[in-house]
C-alpha cells in the first residue's frame, strides 16, 4: 500500500481516453466520504480517497471529443500507488494494439511489482494485456473487441459475458467490460478500500446499480469486411440478405466455388468466425432487432430468422444474448417505450 494516509488511485489517461469514463471515475471516486454526508446532513465530510489523473507527462492535452485533460502528474512523478485504473483508451477494432503505450506499460509493471492493484475499463484491458500480467488469466473488455483479443492475445481467456471480472483479483488484476462498466468497478473499489457502506452511499447519491445481466445482452455482432479475400467478401454480402435460407453454410460454400473445408478455413481466416457461427450470429442479431422494436411472437421470430424449432431457437438465443427472448424483449422494449412516449 502507499504511504499516503488515503489510498491513492491513479487514473491513467492518454489522447485516446474517453472523457465520460475518465471524468466519471474521477468525480465519483473523489466524492467518497464527502457527498453522502453533505447531501443527507448538510455537513461536508472528508475525502476518503486520493484520486489523480496521470499521463505520460504532466503536459495538458486534448482527448477524444477535443476535451482538455490537465494531468495531476506524469507517470515519472508517481513512485508508488495503491490502484491504477486504465480508463478506456480507444483502439480501432481492426487495428493491432501491440506496442502501444510502452512507457505506461513499463510504469504499470513497476507499480504492480510494488503491490499496486491493476484495473481496466473497456478497451483498457488491451493495455493491461501488453504488460504480460494477464497471460493465462481471464479478462473482460468491450464485447466489440472479442476478435481482436483472440487474435493478438490468445494466451488470455477472454470473457465476453463479463462486466466486472474478479477472477484474477487474487493476482491483483481486475478487468471490466464495456464503457459504463466503470460504474461497477468504482463501486467495487470503494467497497474494497473504504467499506461496503460507502459503496452503498455512493450508489444512492449517484443512482448507480450494477449490470446484473452481464454484458451479453448488450453485445452485437462484429462483421469484418475489410480483408483481402474477395471470394469470402462476396459470400458475406450474400449471406447478409439470405441468412434465413436452408443450409446456409453449404450454400455459401457452393457460391464460393471452393471445397467445403477450404471455404471454412478461408472464411475463418478472413472474418474470425466459423461459418456456422457467423450465420447464427446474423440470425440472432436479426431476432434481436425484431424483439426490440416489434410485437411479433417469439415463435414467429424464430421462423423468420431461419429456425423451424422454436425451442432450439430459444436455447441458442439465450446462449448468445444471455437472456431468453421474452426477457430480452422486456429489457429493451422498455427502453424504447420510455424514450418514445
Is a pLDDT exceeding 90 seen at residue 147? Answer: no
Percent of all residues in the chain with a pLDDT value above 90, rounded to a whole number: 73
Structure confidence by residue, pLDDT tens digits, 220-254 = 887 766 678 899 999 999 999 999 999 999 999 99
Question: How many domains does the chain divide into?
Answer: 2
Same domain, 205 and 327: no
The parent domain of residue 270 ranges over: 230-340
Say if residue 161 is exposed, middle or buried (CB neighbours under 10 Å; 0-12, 13-18, 19+): middle
- Contact call for residues 76 and 54 (beta carbons, < 8 A): no
Say if residue 316 is exposed, middle or buried (CB neighbours under 10 Å; 0-12, 13-18, 19+): middle
Q: Which residue has the cell 471480472?
A: 165
Q: Which helix (H) or strand (E) holds 285?
A: helix 275-293
Q: Write the CA distances from 290 to 270, 293, 329, 339, integer angstroms.
A: 29, 6, 9, 17
- Which pTM value belongs to this model? 0.81
Q: How far apart are CA 211 and CA 331, in angstroms?
A: 12
Q: How far apart are CA 90 and CA 52, in angstroms?
A: 20
Query: Which residues partner with 120 through β-bridges?
Result: 86, 175
Which pLDDT score is estimated for 3? Answer: 44
Q: Which residues contact 8 (CB under 8 A, 6 or more apart)?
A: 2, 49, 50, 52, 80, 81, 82, 83
Which pLDDT score is estimated for 93? Answer: 86
Q: Which residues contact 334 (CB under 8 A, 6 or more apart)?
A: none
Same domain, 91 and 199: yes
Same domain, 47 and 148: yes
Lookup: cell for 235: 459470400
Same domain, 236 and 260: yes
Mean pLDDT of the region 103-113: 97
Confidence class of residue 338 from pLDDT cuts 50, 70 and 90?
low
Is a pLDDT exceeding 70 seen at residue 339? Answer: no
User: Last residue of a domain, which of 192, 215, 238?
Assistant: 215
Same domain, 246 and 156: no
Structure confidence by residue, pLDDT tens digits, 150-185 = 899 999 999 888 899 999 999 999 999 987 899 999
Q: SS3 for 18? A: coil
Same domain, 257 and 159: no
Cα dihedral 248, 277, 219, 323 sign = positive
CATH number for the domain spanning 263: value is 1.10.10.60
Mean pLDDT of the chain: 91
Say if residue 104 is exposed, middle or buried (CB neighbours under 10 Å; 0-12, 13-18, 19+): buried
Is a pLDDT exceeding 60 seen at residue 109? Answer: yes
Same domain, 244 and 208: no
Same domain, 160 and 271: no
Q: How far apart are CA 54 and CA 203, in angstroms?
A: 25
Amino acid at each position: 500500500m502507499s504511504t499516503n494516509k488515503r489510498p491513492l488511485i491513479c487514473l491513467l489517461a492518454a489522447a485516446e481516453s474517453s472523457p465520460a469514463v475518465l471524468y466519471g471515475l474521477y468525480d465519483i471516486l473523489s466524492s467518497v466520504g464527502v457527498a453522502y454526508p453533505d447531501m443527507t446532513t448538510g455537513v461536508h465530510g472528508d475525502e476518503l480517497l486520493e484520486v489523480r489523473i496521470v499521463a505520460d507527462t504532466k503536459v495538458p492535452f486534448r482527448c477524444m471529443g477535443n476535451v482538455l485533460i490537465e494531468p495531476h502528474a506524469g507517470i515519472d512523478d508517481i513512485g508508488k500507488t495503491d490502484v491504477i485504473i486504465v480508463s478506456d483508451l480507444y483502439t480501432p477494432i481492426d487495428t493491432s494494439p501491440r506496442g502501444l503505450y510502452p512507457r505506461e506499460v513499463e510504469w504499470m509493471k513497476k507499480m504492480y511489482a510494488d503491490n499496486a492493484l491493476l484495473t481496466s475499463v473497456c478497451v483498457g484491458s488491451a493495455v493491461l494485456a501488453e504488460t504480460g500480467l494477464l497471460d493465462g488469466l481471464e479478462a473482460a473488455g468491450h464485447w466489440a473487441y472479442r476478435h481482436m483479443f483472440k487474435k493478438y492475445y490468445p494466451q488470455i481467456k477472454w470473457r465476453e459475458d463479463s462486466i466486472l471480472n474478479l477472477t484474477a483479483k487474487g493476482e491483483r488484476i481486475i478487468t471490466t467490460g464495456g464503457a459504463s462498466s466503470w460504474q461497477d468497478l468504482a463501486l467495487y473499489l470503494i467497497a474494497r478500500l473504504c467499506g461496503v457502506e460507502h459503496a452503498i452511499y455512493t450508489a444512492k447519491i449517484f443512482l448507480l446499480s450494477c449490470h446484473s445481466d452481464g454484458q451479453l445482452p448488450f453485445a452485437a455482432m462484429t462483421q469484418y469486411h475489410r480483408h483481402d479475400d474477395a471470394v469470402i467478401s462476396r459470400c458475406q454480402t450474400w449471406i447478409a440478405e439470405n441468412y434465413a435460407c436452408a443450409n446456409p453454410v453449404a450454400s455459401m460454400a457452393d457460391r464460393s466455388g471452393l471445397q467445403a473445408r477450404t471455404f471454412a478455413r478461408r472464411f475463418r481466416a478472413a472474418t474470425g468466425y466459423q461459418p456456422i457461427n457467423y450465420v447464427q450470429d446474423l440470425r440472432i442479431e436479426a431476432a434481436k432487432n425484431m424483439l426490440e422494436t416489434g410485437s411479433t411472437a417469439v415463435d414467429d421470430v424464430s421462423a423468420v430468422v431461419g429456425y423451424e424449432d422454436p425451442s432450439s431457437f430459444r436455447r441458442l438465443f439465450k446462449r448468445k444474448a444471455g437472456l431468453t427472448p421474452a426477457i430480452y424483449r422486456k429489457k429493451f422494449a422498455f427502453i424504447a417505450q420510455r424514450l418514445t412516449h
